[in-house]
Amino acid sequence: MSDQRRRRLAALLDGLTAAHVDSLLVTSLANVRYLTGFSGSSALLLVSQREALLITDFRYQTQAADEVGDSARVLIEPQSLWAGLWQQLAQQPGVQVLGFESAHLLHRDFQRLMEAGARWQWRPTLDLVETLRERKDPEEVQLIERAANVAIRALERTLAEVRVGMTELQVAGVLERALRDEGSEGFPFPSIVASGSRSALPHARATSARVREGDLLLLDFGAEVEGYCADITRTVVVGRASAEQREIYDVVRHANEQASHSIRAGMTGRDADAIARGYIEQRGYGDLFGHGLGHGVGLEVHEAPRLSRTADGALAEGAVVTIEPGVYRPGWGGVRIEDDVVLDAAGPRILTKFTRELIEIPG
């Protein structure tokens, strides 16, 4: 087993002891991947002091053996993963009190635990693995940085191709093809391409709306390398920027820069959020920044920690977080500038090395 996975499992076992359970049923696929390397879409992982046991189905026979190695014993279950679980548990008399992941188990499956699994005691747990994932090791940061580089190169290629008259969907197509060409394994979330007044919608996708001269054009998208995600946003102007566009862009750019340079491990997520929010408020746009400053990024594109007005946990050293302030004026448009930053002991380091200067693309 790699040292990395051995450390993760050992840390999780400490967590189980603290949570007063002797084993944990892991149902989050991102958590399964973190602990075993398995990237398939169907798995139950049972972690006990004795062993880690991965149960999956016939489709993943070859893949599971390749990916998991000796990180876990792999069981290919022909009928139902749950039937396999009951059978295996019956052979482990030492296992009596099991934790399950309350945030990753559907009520339907919880009923299975209460019925077919009634011989055992089940305790809900929260964030036992997620907390470990918050602190990235150097190999993980490297993968996120590789994903960030893929995203950056794809963005450069896309901005060189965008023209007035293209639909947002066409722009998304250029971007996504470039992401694939640069090696992205997938799209961690639906690409946001929002032009004109649609850039004021923080959760726009791409539509058949056409890019027009003078528009703000917001691109928010991800890349994925070996399961690790990067998440970046840039907002450009098509043609020459107006004074108002410049003003709002300048506010968001400075808010991003201040937060990206001042954020530190040990701060709370609220304190980090306040750096950008305080600046935006001071410039008079506080009411137009309606969402939190950012979120962790790693095997999932949204993971712990959160940076927001209500996040009172301290940020772990090694966490990778997005810094994504925005100012949105309904009916007019919005600007968001998002970077991924790792919180090293020595200070923050920006992984998405793409200019934050205002870009005016040819109209």
Asked if 67 and 91 count as a contact pair (C-beta separation under 8 A), the reply is no
3-class SS of residue 179: helix
List, in order, residues 6 or more apart from 244 with CB less than 8 Å away.
332
Judged by CB under 8 A, does residue 33 bind a copy of itself?
no
Size of the site for a copy of itself (CB under 8 A): 46
Q: Which two three-digit tokens encode residue 160?
A: 């060189």
**Which of 52, 72, 159, 174 touches a copy of itself by CB under 8 A?**
174
The kind and range of the H/E element at 128 are helix 128-134
The pattern of x and - marking residues 292 through 321 that bind a copy of itself according to CB under 8 A reads ------------------------------
Q: Which two three-digit tokens encode residue 303?
A: 């993971």
Quick one: which segment of 179-187, 230-238, 244-252, 263-271 binds a copy of itself (CB under 8 A)? 179-187
Quick one: which segment of 29-37, 201-209, 250-258, 334-342 binds a copy of itself (CB under 8 A)? 201-209
If the CB atoms of residues 19 and 201 are measured against a copy of itself, the closer one turns out to be 201
**Which of 2, 49, 63, 87 touches a copy of itself by CB under 8 A?**
63
If the CB atoms of residues 58 and 93 are measured against a copy of itself, the closer one turns out to be 58
List, in order, residues 6 or more apart from 221 with CB less than 8 Å away.
151, 154, 175, 176, 179, 187, 189, 191, 192, 231, 232, 233
Tell the smallest beta-carbon distance from residue 103 to a copy of itself (Å): 5
Quick one: which segment of 64-72, 199-207, 231-239, 278-286 binds a copy of itself (CB under 8 A)? 199-207
Tell the smallest beta-carbon distance from residue 52 to a copy of itself (Å): 22
- Checking 111-117 for CB contacts under 8 A at 24+ apart, the result is 112/82, 113/25, 116/82, 116/86, 117/85, 117/86, 117/89
For 103-142, b/e burial (b = at least 16 CB within 10 A) is ebbeeebeebbeeebeebebeebeebbbbbbbbbeeebbe
Asked if 37 and 69 count as a contact pair (C-beta separation under 8 A), the reply is yes
The pattern of x and - marking residues 66 through 105 that bind a copy of itself according to CB under 8 A reads ----------------------------------x-xxxx
Cα separation, 271 vs 131, whole angstroms = 20
Question: Hey, which residues between 217 and 276 contact a copy of itself (CB under 8 A)?
Answer: none
Judged by CB under 8 A, does residue 184 bind a copy of itself?
yes
Residues forming the site for a copy of itself (CB under 8 A):
40-41, 58-60, 62-63, 100, 102-108, 110-111, 124, 126, 169-170, 172-174, 176-181, 183-187, 190, 201-203, 205-208, 290-291, 330
